């Protein structure tokens, strides 16, 4: 039995423009790599094609998949890459109908069984965590699907139905490390976002699953609302493995709540420091978890940057969409991080339901008042697995074009606003933040703090300038 796992390239970064994002930010497909590691541990032949690292035209990709001769093609997609993934599956099915095609990932989990009614080239879906479900499907030879928990399949009338739900993996430490060795160009082809790391090569780790909070815009369809995590010892071993086998010198923890369990974080910092593991890292934290003692631990153990989801500077908008945190307190907490010697990145959204021009300008002014080194501003997108999705059409105009639902296109426009207003305010946000002397001076210091970023920026400067010119026009 041979399994081929595919990460499709959804070429939809910004509608009508060339995608240059993967030049400066390419994250290994960690979920797929975890599934591959579990299958490999069971003695199953498994390969990965990451189309972001090795993009190719659809016809050539289909030929390559068929050439490799898999019994099963597993495709993991987000909402924005689903159609691209399906086109690949359909092209493969047309020439090699006996290849079993299976979809997983956020979009499959959020839409569920009804996907099978409209997309006949898909044989089944993995719903929820994929490791154990995929293993059982393979071991069963893709028969008796309805008896395997966590699957959507076609019933007797050809309609999609769900098998019983799969229990979540209780002990994440039982999972092997992701199969980084299945990526032919790792770590050379992969890189964290420009200016968000001090050195290279670098990579990413996810050390927990789930989130107990209920923000309106977050899709929890894969890991649900519980919070499970790897032990501090496991995380340190993971980092040490990347350092020893691949020369990784910096990692970014992409966990939504890296600092949620204080004891875990403290033990991780202490073990890493005691072992003398010279690998720096970034993490995401919630403001309520931050205090001077924790920040001192993070800094001593090599933390370089802390990211915070701030989202909006309008109190009423925040209260509608997430747990509220006093805006005056936000600035104080961020200053604590800066004073501890770490960079601070703020994560914001534009176009949330209920926003108007006044609210968005309040967010822009608020962001400029904070002690931030960097911002990431996304365009609000109502994903099918998010709580807000159920009522989104009552709150504005929603163009549910899956190809564009990547947080980089305005597919939702709140009542009382226009898409052009949102675009103008978004561009104003970016321009006003990054055109300040204090921010530009901060980036000039990156020559010493992040020399690899400077070299990468200069290497791809023609592409950047071409993109900037096209965006203006």
Most distant CA pair in the chain, distance = 66
Q: What number is the average pLDDT over the span 259-287?
A: 93
Please choose, from the candidates 441, 430, 273, the residue with its C-alpha nearest in 3D space to the C-alpha of residue 363: 430
Question: For 39-89, what is each residue's pLDDT tens digit?
Answer: 999 999 999 999 999 989 999 999 999 999 999 999 999 999 999 999 999
Q: What number is the average pLDDT over the span 140-158?
A: 91
The DSSP secondary structure of 377-390, one letter per residue, reads EEE----TTSGGGG
Pairing of strands 228-229, 208-209: antiparallel
Please choose, from the candidates 133, 288, 344, 285, the residue with its C-alpha nearest in 3D space to the C-alpha of residue 222: 133
Q: Where are the domains of the chain?
A: 2-162, 192-435
Intrachain domains 2-162 and 192-435 with the same fold? no
Distances (CA, A) of 281 to 140, 197, 371, 425: 41, 8, 20, 33
Please choose, from the candidates 369, 324, 316, the residue with its C-alpha nearest in 3D space to the C-alpha of residue 346: 369
Which helix (DSSP H) or strand (DSSP E) does residue 376 occupy? strand 374-379
Write down the pTM of the prediction: 0.93
State the pLDDT at residue 40: 98
State the pLDDT at residue 452: 77
Contact (Cβ atoms closer than 8 angstroms) between residue 198 and residue 450? yes
State which CATH number among 3.20.20.70, 3.30.413.10, 3.40.50.720, 3.40.50.1360 fits the domain covering 192-435. 3.20.20.70
**Is residue 17 pLDDT above 60, yes or no?**
no
**Is residue 365 pLDDT above 90, yes or no?**
yes
Topology annotation, domain 2-162: Rossmann fold (3.40.50)
**Is residue 214 pLDDT above 90, yes or no?**
no
Q: How many CB atoms lie within 10 A of CB 165?
A: 12
Provide the token pair at 291. Answer: 């205090």
**Is residue 207 pLDDT above 90, yes or no?**
yes
């Amino acid at each position: 039995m041979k399994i081929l796992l595919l990460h499709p390239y959804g070429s939809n970064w910004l509608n009508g423009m060339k995608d240059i994002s993967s030049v400066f930010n390419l994250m290994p497909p960690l979920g797929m790599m975890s599934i591959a590691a579990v299958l490999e541990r069971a003695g199953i032949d498994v390969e990965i094609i990451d189309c972001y690292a090795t993009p190719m035209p659809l016809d050539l990709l289909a030929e390559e998949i068929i050439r490799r001769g898999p019994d099963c093609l597993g495709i993991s997609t987000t909402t924005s890459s689903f159609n691209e993934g399906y086109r690949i599956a359909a092209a493969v099915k047309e020439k090699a109908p006996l290849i079993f095609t299976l979809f997983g990932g956020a979009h499959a989990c959020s839409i569920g069984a009804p996907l099978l009614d409209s997309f006949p080239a898909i044989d089944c879906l993995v719903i929820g965590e994929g490791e154990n479900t995929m293993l059982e499907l393979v071991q069963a030879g893709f028969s008796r699907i309805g008896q395997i928990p966590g699957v959507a399949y076609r019933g007797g009338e050809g309609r999609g139905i769900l098998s019983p739900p799969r229990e979540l993996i209780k002990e994440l430490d039982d999972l092997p490390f992701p199969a980084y060795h299945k990526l032919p160009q790792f770590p050379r082809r992969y890189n964290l976002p420009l200016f968000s790391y001090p050195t290279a090569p670098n990579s990413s780790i996810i050390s927990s699953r789930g989130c107990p909070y209920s923000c309106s815009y977050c899709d929890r369809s894969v890991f649900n609302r519980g919070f499970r995590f790897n032990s501090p010892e496991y995380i340190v071993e993971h980092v040490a493995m990347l350092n020893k086998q691949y020369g990784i010198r910096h990692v970014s923890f992409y966990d939504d709540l890296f600092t949620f369990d204080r004891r875990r974080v403290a033990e991780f910092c202490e073990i890493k420091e005691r072992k003398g593991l010279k690998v720096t890292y970034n993490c995401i934290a919630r403001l309520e978890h931050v205090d001077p003692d924790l920040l001192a631990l993070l800094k001593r153990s090599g933390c370089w940057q802390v990211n915070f989801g701030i989202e909006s500077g309008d109190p009423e908008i925040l209260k509608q969409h997430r747990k509220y945190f006093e805006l005056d307190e936000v600035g104080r907490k961020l200053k604590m991080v800066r004073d501890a010697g770490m960079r601070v990145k703020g994560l914001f959204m534009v176009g949330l339901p209920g926003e108007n021009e006044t609210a968005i300008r309040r967010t822009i002014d608020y962001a400029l008042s904070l002690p931030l080194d960097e911002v990431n501003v996304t365009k609000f997108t109502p994903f099918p697995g998010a709580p807000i999705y159920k009522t989104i059409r009552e709150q504005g105009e929603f163009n549910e074009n899956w190809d564009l639902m990547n947080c980089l296109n305005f597919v939702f426009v709140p009542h009382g606003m226009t898409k052009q207003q949102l675009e103008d305010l978004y561009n104003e946000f970016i321009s006003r933040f990054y055109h300040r002397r204090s921010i530009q001076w901060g980036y000039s210091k990156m020559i010493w703090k992040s020399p690899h970023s400077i070299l990468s920026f200069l290497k791809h400067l023609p592409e950047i300038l071409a993109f900037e010119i096209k965006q203006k026009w």
